[in-house]
Structure 1
Amino acid sequence: MSPKIILILGALISGLGVMIGAFGAHGLKAVLAATNRADTFETAVKYQMYHALGLLLVGLLMAQFPAITGLKLTGICFLVGILIFSGSLYVLSLTGITWLGAITPIGGLFFIIGWVNLVWVLAKNL
């Protein structure tokens, strides 16, 4: 993935995070209250936003320091983490399918790998 693609994805996923958060707070309020999953939905939105901003950071680093290798892996890990972690929590919140909670930590693992990789790449190259 190029810096441009990562930056576009970061901006897009950030915007979606705002929209999904607003929809959850207003449009889905009754559904989330009925399933008692508003906190779970909010956690999904928070982690989506944190890592969308992380994607923007990675894209900016890639654009500013094109010689640094390894940043693409961080971006991929953040993207996969968002899809698995936040995605599974969104589905869990809206459907009550509880077994999805078992895959949520896999998304969290991708987040951790992404952050550890970012530390490694920056320590090695800056």
Structure 2
Amino acid sequence: MSFLGKNYTFVKQENFDGFLRSAGVAEEKIEATAKFAPDQKLVKDGDTYTYITATPEGPSERKFKSGEEFDDVIGSDKTPIKSTYVVDGNTVTQTIVSPAGTATFKREYSGDELVVTITSDKWDGVAKRFYKAA
């Protein structure tokens, strides 16, 4: 798990706007939301993980234990969701259940690269976001 504690910076994305549309993001907010690409880092303390994203408003943290569902919020409107992260080797899969449906964010760490593959039960497409360790 050499990726733990490393900061990953956004590089590029594929089809993320398609995912956002399928999730019900208003068309006038698609461009701004697609540009939102915070740095991210995963740290571990015992059996608890903290997923840290650096946003313009400051860092945001999500504490979780692998495989345990918890209440969370998403988006600028703070939509309530249920979130579950599962850590399996170099892959961290997050499943969120929201009023808009279920989405999966599969984070695959390889060397100094992170690829996030995003799928949804409301969409036939696949989106990807790519990051590099800083």
- Bin for the TM-score computed over the shorter chain: under 0.3
The answer to which structure has the higher strand fraction is 2
Report the TM-score, using the length of structure 2 for normalisation.
Answer: 0.23
Select the structure that is richer in helix.
1
